[in-house]
Amino acid sequence: MGMERLTYSTTGGALAFSDSASAVARFPGVDATLRKQAIYDYLLLHIVPSPETVYEGVFKLRPGTVAHYAAGTLRTSRFWVPRFVESGGESFESLKAGLQTSLRKAVEATRPDQATGAFLSGGLDSSSVAGMLSKVQNGAKTFSMGFGVDAYDELAYARIASKHFATTSHEYHVTPEDIVDAFPKIAAAYDEPFGNSSAVPTYVCARFAAQHGVTHLLAGDGGDEIFGGNERYVRQRVFEAYYRIPGVLRSGLLEPLSKLFSTENPLKPLRKFRSYIDQASVRLPERLETWNLVYREGAQKLLDPEFLRAIDPRAPFGRMREVYEENSDATMLNKMLFYDWQYTLSDNDLRKVGAMCDLAGVRVSYPMLDPDVVDLSLRVPSAMKIEGIELRSFYKKAMGDFLPQDIIRKQKHGFGLPFGVWLKSHARLGELIFAHLESLRRRQIVSPAFIDEIVKGHRTGDASFFGYPIWDMAMLDAWMSAHEGKRS
């Protein structure tokens, strides 16, 4: 599942490997030049996807793969491919019992003691993990973050879960000052540019737990990606229905017709028709990026002209398609789940949590990704994982007698961060971020005109939406500043 990280290089007949790409890059003879393609991939996807790293001579192993090195040659191959069961499997009751049993055993397998605590956002997974911890450890410590912004704050649900399981609850309210303090530390902590802004509350929460004597945290990451909890899993079924229409009708009538209507058409049904055709015409998994501002604007607008000539704007989508099609016989849902195991978990969320816990001096475990829990998820048919448009149907029903009903019914949030909102009003945060954007202008990576456009969009439009690329660009400059001396 990619909980642990392995990077490597083969240079001059030697094999160097580490859990840190920057450590391998410092090995004698390794090409530590920054890979321009990887920098573009980061700006597009907020991460540097496996198997590449930001360094020319260093690579990452994808989850579920093995590297074999002999006589100066390295080859990689898969040692595990999931086998999803769609029919003829177990009953709901059998699967339900297996889920609750395997989750409890997964928590017990982490060997919790009095120095163990749990992240608690109030969502399905963190509540499940905290609840199981409370069954094996009286007065289990839980740690929750608040933000003081209604759209991001779900402390009320964390309190419901804490009360239900009688945990010893600890709450911390993240502020813009926490971002100012954490930003340079986060940039220095990652071995590659990493753009997930929820690294801040993750770090603050882990540090807060350490201040309360906790040296080991249980995290709930993974449940959405193995049991079908992300909204895109349902939304993409609507777009995939487009391909049940004969191709000649799609290309000969619907697509030309849609181009007759502007995306700004005053009639909403015509706007929606144009939007649907535009999105449906992009095949999965590339379609998952159609919301992405950098994807919409394009590499030509994003990048400095000389930098643009050194990269292939379509390369990331070839790798994405390769991962998506590795389980070509699986249902669309299971193909998306498998895809997310790399792009959402291994290269993103697990890196976020692991690195930030390490920075805080806390060990982390992921009970939702225990092998027995993952194996059980493979035995839950797609139609049981999501029924109609209800996400995680099986999980909610199977845990209905364990979790509070308010948690079962709540919408997913997670440790989001109101960065874009705070950037508008907090002076010190603005000084920090805009100083990094000014520095980035001089690096001849991102077009200054693009930076100006995004900053203007943030000031006059949706602050949260434009906050994403601003964070990514500022973090890129901060990472480069923190790591420049380490490559020599």
Question: What does the domain layout of the chain look like in residue ranges?
Answer: 7-78, 92-180+189-226+342-409, 231-335, 419-487
pLDDT at position 13, please? 80
Environment class of 480 (CB within 10 Å of its CB; exposed 0-12, middle 13-18, buried 19+): buried
pLDDT at position 486, please? 65
Contacts of 411 (CB under 8 A, 6+ apart): none
pLDDT at position 16, please? 95
Sign of CA dihedral 258, 264, 270, 272: positive
pLDDT at position 263, please? 85
pLDDT at position 213, please? 97
Contacts of 179 (CB under 8 A, 6+ apart): 200, 417, 419, 422, 429, 432
Environment class of 105 (CB within 10 Å of its CB; exposed 0-12, middle 13-18, buried 19+): middle
Q: pLDDT tens digit string along 160-203?
A: 999 999 999 999 999 999 999 999 999 999 999 999 999 999 99
Rounded to whole angstroms, the Cα distance separating 47 from 65 reads 20
pLDDT at position 415, please? 52
pLDDT at position 135, please? 95
Provide the whole-model pTM: 0.94
pLDDT at position 447, please? 97
Which CATH architecture best describes the domain 92-180+189-226+342-409?
3-Layer(aba) Sandwich (3.40)
Task: Give the E-state strand segments of 329-477 in sequence order.
Answer: 363-365
The identity of residue 95, as a single letter, is L
Contact 463, 472 (CB under 8 A): no
The identity of residue 458, as a single letter, is H
Regions of the chain with pLDDT less than 70: 151, 412-415, 485-488
Which tokens belong to 226?
A: 């193995």
pLDDT at position 100, please? 96
pLDDT at position 487, please? 52
